[in-house]
Amino acid sequence: MYNNISIFTTDSLYSYILLKDYIHKHHENISTIYISKPLKRQKYHKFFFRKVIKGLGIRYYIQRVIYDIKNKNNESTIINLANKYNILTVDAPNINDIKIINKVREDKPDIIISGYFDQIIKKDLIKIPSIGILNVHLSMLPKYRGVKPVFWVLKNNECKTGITIHLIEEGLDTGDIVIQKDVDILLTDSVDSLTKRMSIVGSEILQTAIENVQLNKLELKKQNLGSGSYYSQPTKKDLAHFKKQGKKFY
C-alpha cells in the first residue's frame, strides 16, 4: 500500500473538479499540494506580448478575465479543499527551484499526481517519487501531445477525445500510459464545457489508476509516438479559424 502522495496543480475550477473526490477520500495520505502561480511581475509584459498580442488575442483574455471574475467567489477551490482537510499547500511559481525540490524530497512521496499543472517538470523531480509522477493529460495520447489539446480537438472537428493518465518522463507527454478513457465531443461544446466534462471523467480514472498502483495491477503501455501528434500554442490564424467555425472558449 502506497500511503504518501503529493500533488502538483493549479488552483482552478477544473483542477477542483478533477481532484476533489480523490482528496476527499484519500486526504490522510496527501502530504502536500504544490500550487503553480502566475509568472512573476517582471516577466509579465513579455508574457503578455507573446501570449496575448501575438497569440490568442485580446478578446480571448477579456473573456478569460470575465470568467475569472464570475468565479472569483466560488468556494470550489483547491485551497479551500486543502484547508478543509488540513493539507499543507505550497506556492510553486517555479516547481524546479531547488527549495521546492528539497521540500518534495522531504515529503518522500510514493506517487506525485500532476493535474492541470502548467510547468515542465524536470528530471530532478521526476526521480524523487518511488513509483513515479502520474500526469492527467486531456487527450488520447499519443494524439494531441503538447498544449491546449481541448482547443485543438474542437478546432479539428473531432467527434471524440479522451483522458490519458501517464507517467511523466523527460519528454513532453511521452511517458508510458497508465489508463485512458474516451470522451464524446458534443456539437454544442465550448473549450470550457468540454474541459469540465473531461475533468469529471479524469477524476474517475485517476482513482482507478492509483488503486491499480496500490494493488500492483499497473499495466503500462508504451506510446507509439510515430502515430501521434504534437500541438503548440495556437496562433492568431488558428484562433480566426476556430471562431469562423462558430467554436467558443466559454
Q: Which amino acid is at 63?
A: Q
**Of 84 and 50, the one with more pLDDT:** 84
Q: Let me know if residue 250 belongs to a domain.
A: no
Instruction: Give the domain CATH number at 227.
Output: 3.40.50.170
**Of 129 and 63, the one with more pLDDT:** 129
Q: Let me know if residue 126 belongs to a domain.
A: yes
Q: Let me know if residue 67 belongs to a domain.
A: yes
Range 23-51 burial, b when 16+ CB lie within 10 A, else e? beeeeebbbbbbbbeeeeeeeeeeeeeee
Structural domain boundaries enclosing 16: 5-245
Tens digits of per-residue pLDDT, 21-68?
999 999 999 999 999 975 444 344 455 555 555 556 666 666 666 666
Q: Which amino acid is at 192?
A: D
* Domain tally, the chain: 1
Q: Let me know if residue 31 belongs to a domain.
A: yes
79 has pLDDT over 80: yes
Threshold 0.85, pTM exceeds:
yes
Handedness of CA 220, 222, 227, 230 (dihedral sign): positive
